Amino acid sequence: MARCADPVVPGVVRWVESAGGPLIAVPEAVLPFWAGADGDETSSDYDRACDVAGHAGLLPVGDTRALVLGDESAATAYLPEHGLFVRRRPSGPEDPSGPDGRLLAEVPAVLDDAVWAPALEWRVPGPLVLFDAARPGHAATATGHVRVELTPGRYGVSAAYVPTGPWAGLRLVRVGAPAA
pLDDT value of position 90: 53
pLDDT value of position 41: 65
DSSP-based three-state secondary structure for 155: strand
pLDDT value of position 62: 95
Among 172, 175, 163, CA closest to 87: 172
pLDDT value of position 29: 96
The strand order across the sheet containing 169-176 reads: 75-79, 84-88, 169-176, 153-163, 120-124
Q: Cα 40–46–157 angle (5° rounding)?
A: 145
Among 165, 150, 143, CA closest to 17: 143
pLDDT value of position 59: 96
Type and span of the H or E element at 47: helix 45-50
d(CA 165, CA 95): 9
Inter-residue contact 69 to 85 (CB < 8 Å): yes
d(CA 37, CA 47): 7
pLDDT value of position 20: 83
Q: State if pTM tops 0.75.
A: yes
Type and span of the H or E element at 66: strand 64-69
Q: Write out residues in the chain with pLDDT < 50, as ranges.
A: 1-9, 92-99
